[in-house]
Every structure is written in structure tokens, then in C-alpha cells.
Amino acid sequence: MGTDANNERPAGSPAAAVVHSLHERHETLATVESLTGGLLSASIVEIAGVSGVYRGGLVTYATELKSELAGVPAELLAERGPVDPDVARALAEGGRRRCGADWGLATTGVAGPEPQDGKPVGLVYVAVAGPAGAVVRQLDLDGGRDHIRSAAVIEALRLLVERIQAVEEPAGAGVDHDATAAAAGRR
């Protein structure tokens, strides 16, 4: 794994943190990638035990595939282009819906070497869609194409971990049912 948005190596594996968190919650994940072209899903499937968590993903590099496969409204793409926060949100929501997952994680942006449709190299949007709605984070990355793509993966995974932690624990989590039943029996 490369470096993050601050050109630092992450402590531990952001993908392992995601897989572990989702496994403990009995929740699933889907990905939709544009500029990362499969790097995000590859980083996730490297983790042992991922098969119970990862439903699958889409690589929608071509703009029309964002609509055809991920369900992004064609009008939105025509009006704003593929590098847009609302497109990132729609990608995450579409991946979640199409793959039947609890969480959707998406990346879109400009890796370079040239600007795209007036958007600068390094402009990236990562998005998470989950039980409590969708969130988008804008990244303004510098460096070469490889760094931009690897930093987008790290930051997308970090955003997902933040959102997982922000959602209430699933029903019954953190409750010791045996202790609760024993306490009820003592009354």
C-alpha cells in the first residue's frame, strides 16, 4: 500500500480495519471504482476472512458505465461529468443497491497526468453509503498518478471506518445475553 493524502504510510492496514469492523457487525460491503480501477477492491480482498464481508464491486471507468452499471442518473453525468461529489454519492449508493450490501464505497476523480473536463489532476471524491445515509469527502491530492490512486484507496477506506464507527452498534451488540438472563432470574 502506498501513502495517504499527507504522503504518510498508514499505521496498520486500512483494509484490514474495514474487514474486521464489518465482520464483527455481520455487515457487507460493495465497491464502485473509477479512477482507482480495481485497486480498492484488490486491497480489500487481500485480507483473510473477507469472503463473509465483501459482496463484490464494479469498475466503471467509462462514464456511460457509471449510469448503466452503477445506476448514476445519466442527466447528472451529462450536466456535471464523472468527477463530482453527487456522482460519487450516487456511485456508492448504486454499488450498495446493485450488490445487495450494507455499505457502498466509491471513488471518482482525476489521476492524471492531464486534467479532465476542466477538473484538475488530484481532485478526487470518495463516498460511503450506509445505513445512516451517504457521505462524500473531497480530496485535493498532489503527486503522480500512482500516488493519487493509492492515496484515494487509503482515504476511501478511512472514511468507511469513520462511518462504521459513527453508526450505532447493531441490535444486540455489546449485550451479554447470558448475564442479562442470569440477572433477570435473580429478581
Q: What is the pLDDT of residue 2?
A: 81
Packed helices 145-166 and 14-25: angle between N→C axes, nearest 10 degrees: 30
Bridge partner residues of 25 (DSSP): none
C-alpha cell at 8: 504518510
Of the spans 8-22, 136-150, 166-180, which averages the highest pLDDT?
136-150
96 secondary structure, DSSP code: H
C-alpha cell at 34: 473509477
What the chain holds in terms of domains, given with CATH numbers, is 14-185 (3.90.950.20)
pLDDT, tens digit (0-9, with 9 covering 90-100), for 69-85: 999 999 999 999 999 99
Which residue's C-alpha cell is 498518478? 145
Cα–Cα distance measured from residue 91 to residue 106, given in angstroms and rounded to the nearest whole number: 6
- Considering only CA atoms, which of 158, 128, 148, 124 is closest in space to residue 13? 158
Q: Which residue has the higher pLDDT, 134 or 182?
A: 134
Cα–Cα distance measured from residue 61 to residue 74, given in angstroms and rounded to the nearest whole number: 15
Reported pTM: 0.87
